[in-house]
Amino acid sequence: MRGKLGNGQPLAIYDLGTVGYRDALELQHRLVSLRQQDRIADTLLLLEHNPVITEGRSAVSTDIVADPAVLARKGVEVVTIERGGETTYHGPGQLVGYPIIDLRRYLRSLKKYIHLLEEVFVSYLETHHGVEATRDIDHRGVWVGNEKITAVGVAVQQRVTFHGFAFNVNTNLSHYDWIIPCGITDRGQTSVQALTGERTDMSAVKHGVATAFCELFGYDEPPISPAADLPRGE
């Protein structure tokens, strides 16, 4: 299956390693501005974060159940952001992706865009791990049985996307005990490691996810570039 968004155009993909959440947010804002001006191509950022809790536009304060003193002692920041959705967790072993994409050119439906983001992980998990993942009509993201493996939350400014997905690869799932993820109390979280019983090489996951992303969105797949190659925008 090929989507209509990329229409065979190249996608700039960058591996940023581990990045502080606020630094990554500032970078997204800068790249969104450049994309709005057509100064850069559609872009996908792949990275990990140190432990952080983020609150989207629909978040409520009671979704953070951990004692603030415990979070402070562990160095866990709470950041309120402009993406859709509620409260979620990011941390080491979780692949985070931020697509900076101009929806005006090819794919004018935000609903279709989110559907394709979810499909990336349905496809990746089946192809690389033999895991059957699904969507849920009531809850965004990608699920394996009754447990979420990929969270999806996006924002759009002048038809350019940012924020994106968080895919549990080798994530410490006990950190989700700090919150009520996305306000859902009757379901759990899982990861590739939990499903397979072994740690998965993150570099291989990045390449596999990038391939699935390009295939589904219709981009020509480029090599993954290092953070040093990011456009400066001066």
Joined together, the tokens standing for residue 124 give 């990746």
Q: Which residues contact 227 (CB under 8 A, 6 or more apart)?
A: 14, 15, 16, 17
Q: Which residues contact 172 (CB under 8 A, 6 or more apart)?
A: 91, 92, 93
Using the structure block, give the residue that is written with the tokens 């306000």: 183
Joined together, the tokens standing for residue 203 give 């570099």
Of these residues, 34, 71, 120, 182, which one is catalytic? 182
CA 20 to chain centre: 15
Joined together, the tokens standing for residue 75 give 């160095």
| Residue-by-residue DSSP string for 65-101 | -S-HHHHHHTT-EEEE-SSSS-EEEE-TTEEEEEEE-
Residues pairing with 54 in the sheet: 79, 88
Using the structure block, give the residue that is written with the tokens 């979280």: 189
214 carries an active-site annotation: no
**Residues labelled catalytic:** 182
